[in-house]
Amino acid sequence: PRYFALLPAAGVGARMAANGPKQYLTVGGKPMLRHAVDAFRAAPLVNHTYVVVSPDDGVIDAVLPSELDGVTVLRVGGATRMDSVLNGLRALAGQLADHDHVMVHDAARPGLTPALIARLIEGVGNDPAGGLLALPVVDTMKRGAPGADGASVSAATVPRNGLWSAQTPQMFSYALLLRALGSVADANAITDDASAVEMLGYAPRLIEGHPRNLKVTLPADIRIAEMYLAQKED
């Protein structure tokens, strides 16, 4: 089997509110995107890594020099994360075969390691539904509702048992992922790839990830990511 990585990196980082897209912020000594790219380049089973950036991206060539082996930049980013992933998959038609495995990974998760990539590949095995890294939820979950004075109130406690927080990478066969994302009616309605696959009736495997693989979303997440990056491995 062949394994490929596809990194959506065409977001603007609105919630980070930095001076430019967050995937290029320096985290632990290098641009955030480089951490994830280097994890895939160091993973022995990964054949090639594709990075999807926005067509007008002016930074990527400095972050990923063209002589870097094992990486190709696709300038086909779209309006939503889903569009960026789907455009990237479509750009690879002819290069990837239906049964090739594609690992989709957020460029904004710099804590990924080759060990976690290996754990995902091992955990999914040849399950046709694919799978994803995820963490069992540890907090007590509340269903919020608007209260009488407009403030949020807790309408119910959602049983935490069985709940997982999704991480990436999420791995599926090229054909399944293309079909799943191609059938989603509203790109804004999904926030990960597994949800599109679930809509086709598949149940992807949940493989235990690691807190170090957090998604950097808000400014405070940078320091948490740097703390994990300073620790060598899991």
Where on the chain is the footprint of ligand CTP (CB under 6 A)?
A: 8-16, 22-23, 52, 77-81, 84, 106-108, 215, 217
Sequence-separated (6 or more) residues with CB below 8 Å from residue 117: 39, 40, 43, 45, 46, 103, 169
Q: Kindly state the tokens that stand for 66.
A: 């063209």
Tell me the window of 9-17, 57-65, 103-111, 165-173 that interacts with Mg ion (CB under 5 A).
9-17
Output the residue with the shortest Cβ distance to Mg ion.
Answer: 11
Q: Kindly state the tokens that stand for 224.
A: 């948490």
- The DSSP element (H or E) to which 119 belongs, if any, is helix 114-124
Q: Which does 80 bind (CB under 5 to 8 A by kind): ligand CTP, Mg ion, none?
A: ligand CTP
> Which residue, 9 or 222, has its beta carbon nearer to ligand CTP?
9
Q: Which does 31 bind (CB under 5 to 8 A by kind): ligand CTP, Mg ion, none?
A: none
Output the residue with the shortest Cβ distance to ligand CTP.
Answer: 11
CB 212 within 8 A of CB 106: no
CB 87 within 8 A of CB 181: no
Torsion angles phi and psi, residue 183, rounded to 5 = -95, 0
Tell me the window of 7-15, 34-42, 57-65, 106-114 that interacts with Mg ion (CB under 5 A).
7-15
Query: Binders of Mg ion among 11-40, rule CB under 5 A?
Result: 11
Burial of 123 per CB tally in 10 Å (0-12, 13-18, 19+) = middle
Give the DSSP letter of residue 96. B
Tell me how far, at minimum, the Cβ of 52 lies from ligand CTP, in Å. 6
> Which residue, 11 or 31, has its beta carbon nearer to Mg ion?
11
> Which residue, 5 or 107, has its beta carbon nearer to ligand CTP?
107
> Which residue, 11 or 111, has its beta carbon nearer to Mg ion?
11
- The angle formed by the CA atoms of residues 110, 113 and 114, to the nearest 5 degrees, is 140
Q: Which does 46 bind (CB under 5 to 8 A by kind): Mg ion, ligand CTP, none?
A: none
Q: Which does 170 bind (CB under 5 to 8 A by kind): Mg ion, ligand CTP, none?
A: none
> Which residue, 3 or 24, has its beta carbon nearer to ligand CTP?
24
> Which residue, 156 or 189, has its beta carbon nearer to ligand CTP?
189
Burial of 60 per CB tally in 10 Å (0-12, 13-18, 19+) = buried
**Site residues (CB under 5 A) for Mg ion?**
11
